[in-house]
């Protein structure tokens, strides 16, 4: 048991026979009663006395022992596991993780071309330490561009990502803002570092398709690629013509694109191609990240063909691929776009999209009649759904 002598007149440090501890002990009972002097504010619970004994006796004199109890089972945290997987995957894609400020200004949101909102739509600090850190960010793209404008004085090539939060008061419980977990990616500069070896492609600037490839690799590793639709959104702020939205099950996951040149000029980044993306993390969370079973490998040979379709200009490769997959199931095992053509002899307002298709059965070798029936079914589906026809 511990009590405290609150009298300043009590013996100070170094006085009396208990100088090494500064504690008065009353022996003679099964439970020691210790009185701590007024200046030992660090002694409050029995564990503090144990620490004092160990300090005087010496830690080396205390024998090592095993835990007398078992460790509690770990509590699963799917959101944390998903974030760690995203970090590992993006680092594997060659990106560096940045930790940016979550505090910014309303002006920087508007400077990036985001919709102008009244101050009550932001989480505002009552007593900010800096005029540049007054509100909590509503978009991680603001922090990414702020960091880019600062770091370009040190390097010409930046490939980075951040896993963090945005703060949305209008989606709160009335007391605290909603803190939504997101990941942002920023790419700018040459595709590869300078080398003594000739590399014309490496000197080209990173563009939208580099960014799209990173997210395809990320979503494929997370098991979401087949369920995510990429929809063109040209001109959506703060992006220019190259912009796309990621949608899964009717839910918007995020957006990626190239920063509009006018907005880049506002930040002093004129004549520079800047690729940005922001993706919500919570919709990607799975209850378990155990490895999924691989599909069985067929013992029978595959049949590979090239199919080129002439479709109206407004038909996307995603829509055409979806029609081919649906019509070719379940024997269509692989599908890959390898060519896009416009011009003569195709009519105006039309384009040709060529796919390599792979048919394979788990039960038998496919014959020419079966493959011909599959091809005819695909051709009919494309004609009915998209108004396309097989190119001669």
The CA-based dihedral angle spanning residues 144, 149, 150, 152, taken in that order and rounded to the nearest 10 degrees: 110
pLDDT in tens, 120-139: 899 999 999 899 999 999 99
The answer to whether residue 3 scores a pLDDT higher than 80 is no
User: In the predicted model, what is the mean pLDDT of the chain?
Assistant: 88
pLDDT recorded at residue 19? 47
pLDDT recorded at residue 14? 44
Cα separation, 151 vs 102, in Å, equals: 17
Percent of the chain with pLDDT over 70: 92
Which burial class, exposed, middle or buried, applies to 32 when counting CB atoms under 10 A from its CB (0-12, 13-18, 19+)? middle
Cα separation, 92 vs 40, in Å, equals: 52
Domain 78-284: which topology? BirA Bifunctional Protein; domain 2 (3.30.930)
25 vs 16: which has the higher pLDDT: 25
Residue corresponding to tokens 């004085």? 153
pLDDT in tens, 217-261: 999 998 888 888 888 899 999 999 999 999 988 889 999 999 999
* Predicted confidence band of residue 96 (pLDDT cuts 50, 70, 90): very high
- Highest mean pLDDT out of 14-23, 84-93, 279-288: 84-93
303-390 has the same fold as 78-284: no
* Predicted confidence band of residue 20 (pLDDT cuts 50, 70, 90): low
The answer to whether residue 372 scores a pLDDT higher than 90 is yes
pLDDT recorded at residue 212? 94
Cα separation, 101 vs 17, in Å, equals: 55
| Contact partners, residue 201, CB within 8 Å, separation at least 6 | 191, 192
The answer to whether residue 6 scores a pLDDT higher than 80 is no
CATH number for region 303-390 = 3.30.70.380
DSSP code of residue 124:
B
DSSP string, 276-343: EEEEESGGG--S--PPPPPPPPPSS--EEEEEEEEEETT--HHHHHHHHHHHHTTTEEEEEEEEEE-S
Q: Where are the domains of the chain?
A: 2-61, 78-284, 303-390
Q: Residue 180 in 3-state DSSP?
A: strand
Cβ proximity of 143 and 81 under 8 Å: no
């Amino acid at each position: 048991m511990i009590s405290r002598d609150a009298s300043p007149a009590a013996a100070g440090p170094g006085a009396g026979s208990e100088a090494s501890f500064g504690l008065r002990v009353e022996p003679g009972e099964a439970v020691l009663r210790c009185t701590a002097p007024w200046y030992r504010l660090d002694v409050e619970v029995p564990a503090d006395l144990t620490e004092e004994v160990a300090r005087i006796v010496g830690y080396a004199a205390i024998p090592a022992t095993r835990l007398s109890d078992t460790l509690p089972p770990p509590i699963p945290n799917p959101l944390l596991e998903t974030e760690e997987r995203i970090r590992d995957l993006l680092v594997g894609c060659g990106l560096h993780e940045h930790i940016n400020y979550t505090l910014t200004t309303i002006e920087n949101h508007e400077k990036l071309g985001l919709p102008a909102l009244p101050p009550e739509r932001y989480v505002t600090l009552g007593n900010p330490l800096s005029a540049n850190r007054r509100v909590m960010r509503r978009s991680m793209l603001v922090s990414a561009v702020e960091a880019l404008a600062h770091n370009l004085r040190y390097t010409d090539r930046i490939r980075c990502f951040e896993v963090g939060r945005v703060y949305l008061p209008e989606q709160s419980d009335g007391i605290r803002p909603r803190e939504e977990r997101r990941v942002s990616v920023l790419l700018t500069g040459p595709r590869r570092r300078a080398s003594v070896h000739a590399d014309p492609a490496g000197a080209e600037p990173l563009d939208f398709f580099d960014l799209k490839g990173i997210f395809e690799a990320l979503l494929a590793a997370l098991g979401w690629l087949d369920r995510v639709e990429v929809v063109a959104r040209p001109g959506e702020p703060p992006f220019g013509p190259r912009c796309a939205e990621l949608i899964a099950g009717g839910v918007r996951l995020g957006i990626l694109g190239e920063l509009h040149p006018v907005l880049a000029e506002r930040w002093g980044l004129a004549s520079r191609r800047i690729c940005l993306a922001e993706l919500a993390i919570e919709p990607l969370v799975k209850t378990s990240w155990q490895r999924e079973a691989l599909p069985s490998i067929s013992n029978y040979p595959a049949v590979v063909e090239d199919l080129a379709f002439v479709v109206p200009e407004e038909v996307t490769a995603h829509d055409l691929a979806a029609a081919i997959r649906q019509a070719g199931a379940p024997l269509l095992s692989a599908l890959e776009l390898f060519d896009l053509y416009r011009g003569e002899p195709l009519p105006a307002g039309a384009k040709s999209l060529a796919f390599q298709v792979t048919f394979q059965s788990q039960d038998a070798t496919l014959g020419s009649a079966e493959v011909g029936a599959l091809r005819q079914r695909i051709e009919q589906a494309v004609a009915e759904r998209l108004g396309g026809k097989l190119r001669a």
